[in-house]
Amino acid sequence: MFKKIHSDHVPAAVGAYSQAVEKENIIYVSGQLPINPETNEMSLTVVEQAEQSLKNIEAILKAADLSLASVVKNTIFMTSLTEAAQVNEVYAKFFGDSKPARAMVGVKELPKGALIEIESIAIR
């Protein structure tokens, strides 16, 4: 079995899944849409959306008593890879020198019309 991880500082899951789960000291953070938990809305630019998705991941990890420094792998889903350079700049601000493994994938569409969604794996 696994432990569910939940933060009240991010939007509720939009489906039948947990914000994150932990099994054997590995934390799997579900894909985070760039929904601001205070307004329940998304910004219009991919830069602001990337920042919000990463802030949501950060809040979930905090609920597990971890930080972004514990992340070992991210997957970024984007509806337009032409904006990858802007996302890389935001990403570097959040992860700095830790530089976890990462994949960036172009997709046709994302839930709620988001431009980006990010999922993470962290180790305790």
The tens digit of pLDDT for each residue in 32-83 reads 999 999 999 999 999 999 999 999 999 999 999 999 999 999 999 999 999 9
Domain spans of the chain, in order of start: 3-123
pTM of the complete model: 0.95
Task: Examine the pLDDT at 14 and tell me if it is beyond 80.
Answer: no
The tens digit of pLDDT for each residue in 92-105 reads 999 999 999 999 99
Per-residue pLDDT band for 113 (boundaries 50, 70, 90) equals very high
Phi/psi for 118 (5° steps) reads -130, 135
Coil, helix or strand for 100? coil
Tally of helices (H runs) and strands (E runs) in the chain:
2, 6
* CATH 3.30.460.80 is the classification of domain 3-123: no
Beta strands in the chain (DSSP E): 3-5, 20-23, 26-32, 71-78, 101-106, 116-123
pLDDT at 16 (0 to 100) = 86
Dist. CA 109–CA 71, nearest whole Å: 25
